[in-house]
Amino acid sequence: MTPAVEFRGVSVHFGATQALSPLDLSVAKGETLALLGPSGSGKSTALKALAGFVRPSAGRVLLDGEDVTDLPPHRRGLGVVVQSYALFPHLRVDGNVAFGLKARGLPRAEVAKRVAEVLELVGMGAFARRFPRELSGGQQQRVALARALAIKPGVLLLDEPLSALDAALREEMIAELLRLRAELPDTTMIHVTHDQAEALALADRIGVLRDSRLVELGPCEQLYRRPASEFTASFLGGAN
């Protein structure tokens, strides 16, 4: 089957810095892949290359078999959630979620329907008329998730979406994301994190990045029980 996401030899340089060494990686439709690694290992750069926010120095990115390397971000149809929610502060919750739909020129009634649907999906139906500043961090992150899901993306990219939350909220959001996965079985997710527990809880497979390089890739169970390197073992706190 055609992978939902494919990196083919994708590398990224920023001046003299190699932020991403040639990356070859396929993600199946409906799969959740965690990209795990310490700060500065190239996780965000990999996501940005896929989303179109940075240009690869070499290689191609494909979505559903289509080469999208030369497409601008808004033509790739991805949902993106970043660490710092980045909601528009002057727009109410419903306005934030509607933003991408309006930009796509959807009729008003359909926008309203989809906004209500997707806020319900993340448990924020009662908060549509609030401003972001009137919400807790966890609630803001749910709205950011709703905004990303509004366009029904085939692929959802999550860049450390929980790292700004305290431990209790993080637990809650992990449960939320698991529920979401069950409700959206066709949605492919790439979840970037430096938190091994988060990766193990959420992912089907984990890719480990170190110094811009993918050093290991496999099902959670395998990485945890039989890490191929000491680095992975120490990072995952697994058997070795």
What are the residues binding Mg ion (CB under 5 A)?
44
**The token pair that represents 24 in the structure block:** 């070859």
The DSSP result for 207-220, as a single string, is EEEETTEEEEEEEH
Instruction: Considering the complex, state which of residue 50 and residue 115 has its C-beta at the smaller distance from Mg ion.
Output: 50
Report the nearest approach of ligand ADP to the CB of residue 75 (Å). 22
**The token pair that represents 59 in the structure block:** 């290689």
Report the nearest approach of Mg ion to the CB of residue 20 (Å). 12
Instruction: Considering the complex, state which of residue 14 and residue 88 has its C-beta at the smaller distance from ligand ADP.
Output: 14
Report the nearest approach of Mg ion to the CB of residue 159 (Å). 6
Report the nearest approach of ligand ADP to the CB of residue 199 (Å). 13
Among residues 10, 22, 25, 43, the one that binds ligand ADP under rule CB under 6 A: 43
From residue 7, alpha-carbon distances to 22, 58, 66 in Å are 9, 11, 11
Q: Which stretch binds ligand ADP (CB under 6 A): 39-47, 92-100, 102-110, 144-152?
A: 39-47
For position 19 contacting ligand ADP by CB under 6 A, the verdict is yes
Report the nearest approach of ligand ADP to the CB of residue 98 (Å). 30
Cβ atoms within 10 Å, residue 134: 12
Q: Which stretch binds ligand ADP (CB under 6 A): 33-41, 84-92, 121-129, 141-149?
A: 33-41
> How far is it, in rounded angstroms, from Cα 208 to Cα 87?
30
Which of 132, 134, 121 lies closest to 86 in space, CA to CA? 132
For position 37 contacting ligand ADP by CB under 6 A, the verdict is yes
Beta carbons of 220 and 199 less than 8 angstroms apart: yes
> How far is it, in rounded angstroms, from Cα 64 to Cα 85?
27
Report the nearest approach of Mg ion to the CB of residue 86 (Å). 14
Phi, psi (5° rounding) for residue 159?
-105, 100
> How far is it, in rounded angstroms, from Cα 193 to Cα 66?
27
Instruction: Considering the complex, state which of residue 44 and residue 139 has its C-beta at the smaller distance from ligand ADP.
Output: 44
For position 45 contacting ligand ADP by CB under 6 A, the verdict is yes
Beta carbons of 35 and 192 less than 8 angstroms apart: yes
For position 90 contacting ligand ADP by CB under 6 A, the verdict is no
Could you list the residues that contact ligand ADP (CB under 6 A)?
14, 17, 19, 37, 39-45
